[in-house]
């Protein structure tokens, strides 16, 4: 998704972009994977007892193969469930306030007014008693704080998925700035990118033994590829002459 966004931004702001790097995002394979995306999202755990449990899930499921990297990136993808409950309470309170109407002023006789005041006092006492019995205990609050869930519900973005990836390969090739495509495998290339790569329209590098999260699985190799790409196009200068860099290719 991030790679698709980068391509669209680079195309719309050509004069502001010096270079474009896309990591393992290819139109063909991306569109094919959308058919099973909802199934994948529904199969994920809905909550975790600890952040460490979320990290373990990401590594065991193969979404991230580098444990050290997962310990950094996964934390930003989850949030305490107590935060969600607090937001829901704020929203419901705001809705109740906006829907409420101002009480009408009634011109009642003194006797009726006294009866209403007594009834109101009884209602307040009952209401306070109900609040006390429903008040969550400290142990319940502690249990909720210790649970975590996904920060973003990706299933709600389904209507945008095809728009992100349809025509992405041609859009990527049409960007005028220097382009780098990092892939986990050459089998991810679609027809447009294969032809474009043969014509030298972009630089490609395959990072073996990595999954979709190439930058997390092999951070040092990805950093070396990007640095070499920037030096090659004279966008940066190496700190010393000992920098060898990585040659483009599969």
Residue 112, pLDDT > 50, answer: no
Percent of the chain clearing pLDDT 70 (strictly above): 73
pLDDT at position 183: 92
pTM: 0.71
Residue 158 lies in a domain: yes
Residue 105 lies in a domain: no
3-state helix, strand, coil in the chain (%, to 5): 60, 10, 30
CA distances 221 to 70, 120, 243, Å, are 17, 72, 14
Which residues, listed in sequence order, are joined to residue 20 by a DSSP beta bridge?
179
Domain that residue 225 falls in? 2-38+153-232
Residue 168 lies in a domain: yes
Which residues, listed in sequence order, are joined to residue 148 by a DSSP beta bridge?
48, 80
Residue 189 lies in a domain: yes
Q: Render 51-65 in DSSP notation, one character per residue.
A: HHHHHHHHHHTTS--
pLDDT band at 2 (very low <50, low <70, confident <90, very high): confident
Residue 6, pLDDT > 80, answer: yes
Residue 120, pLDDT > 70, answer: no
Nearest Cα to 167, choosing from 190, 185, 201?
A: 190
Percent of the chain clearing pLDDT 90 (strictly above): 53
pLDDT at position 125: 57
pLDDT at position 245: 76
pLDDT tens-digit readout, 58-108: 999 999 999 999 999 999 999 998 866 555 555 555 555 445 443 443 443
CA distances 74 to 64, 152, 189, 213, Å, are 9, 12, 28, 12
CATH number at residue 164: 3.40.50.1820
Residue 137 lies in a domain: no
Residue 184, pLDDT > 50, answer: yes
Residue 9, pLDDT > 80, answer: yes
Residue with tokens 């609040």: 131
Which residues, listed in sequence order, are joined to residue 124 by a DSSP beta bridge?
none
Residue 191 lies in a domain: yes
pLDDT at position 179: 97
Nearest Cα to 155, choosing from 43, 247, 31?
A: 43
Residue 46 lies in a domain: no
Cα 75 to Cα 177: distance, rounded to the nearest angstrom? 34
CA 175, 181, 183: angle at the middle one, nearest 5?
150
Q: In what order do the strands lie in the sheet with 20-23?
A: 20-23, 179-183, 203-206
Cα 76 to Cα 150: distance, rounded to the nearest angstrom? 9
State both tokens at 180: 């780098």
Comparing 107-121, 137-151, 222-236, the range with the smallest average pLDDT is: 107-121
Q: Are 234 and 18 in contact (CB under 8 A)?
A: no
DSSP strand pairing (78-80 vs 148-150): antiparallel
pLDDT band at 137 (very low <50, low <70, confident <90, very high): low
For 190, half-sphere exposure in the C-beta direction (CA atoms, 13 angstrom radius) is 18
pLDDT at position 209: 87
Residue 33 lies in a domain: yes
pLDDT at position 109: 41
Q: How many domains does the chain have?
A: 1
pLDDT at position 200: 93
pLDDT tens-digit readout, 203-235: 999 998 899 899 999 999 999 999 999 999 999
Q: How much is the average pLDDT of 118-143? A: 53
Residue 110, pLDDT > 50, answer: no
């Amino acid at each position: 998704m991030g790679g698709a966004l980068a391509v669209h931004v680079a195309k719309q702001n050509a004069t502001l972009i010096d270079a474009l790097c896309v990591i393992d995002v290819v139109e063909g394979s991306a569109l094919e994977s959308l058919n099973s995306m909802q199934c994948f999202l529904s199969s994920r755990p809905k909550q975790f007892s600890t952040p460490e449990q979320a990290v373990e899930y990401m590594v065991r499921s193969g979404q991230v193969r580098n444990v050290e990297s997962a310990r950094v990136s996964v934390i930003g993808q989850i949030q305490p469930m107590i935060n969600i409950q607090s937001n829901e309470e704020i929203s419901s309170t705001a809705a109740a306030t906006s829907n409420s109407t101002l009480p009408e002023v009634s011109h009642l006789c003194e006797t009726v007014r006294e009866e209403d005041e007594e009834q109101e006092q009884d209602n307040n006492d009952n209401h306070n008693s109900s609040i006390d019995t429903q008040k969550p205990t400290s142990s319940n609050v502690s249990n909720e704080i210790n649970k975590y869930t996904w920060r973003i519900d990706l299933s709600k973005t389904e209507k945008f998925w095809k728009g992100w990836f349809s025509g992405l390969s041609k859009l990527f090739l049409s960007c005028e700035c220097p382009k780098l495509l990092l892939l986990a495998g050459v089998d991810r290339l679609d027809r447009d990118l294969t032809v474009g790569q043969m014509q030298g329209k972009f630089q490609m590098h395959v990072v073996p033994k990595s999954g979709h999260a190439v930058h997390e699985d092999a951070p040092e190799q990805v950093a070396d590829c990007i640095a070499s790409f920037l030096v090659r196009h004279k966008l940066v200068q190496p700190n010393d002459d000992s920098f060898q860099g990585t040659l483009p290719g599969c």
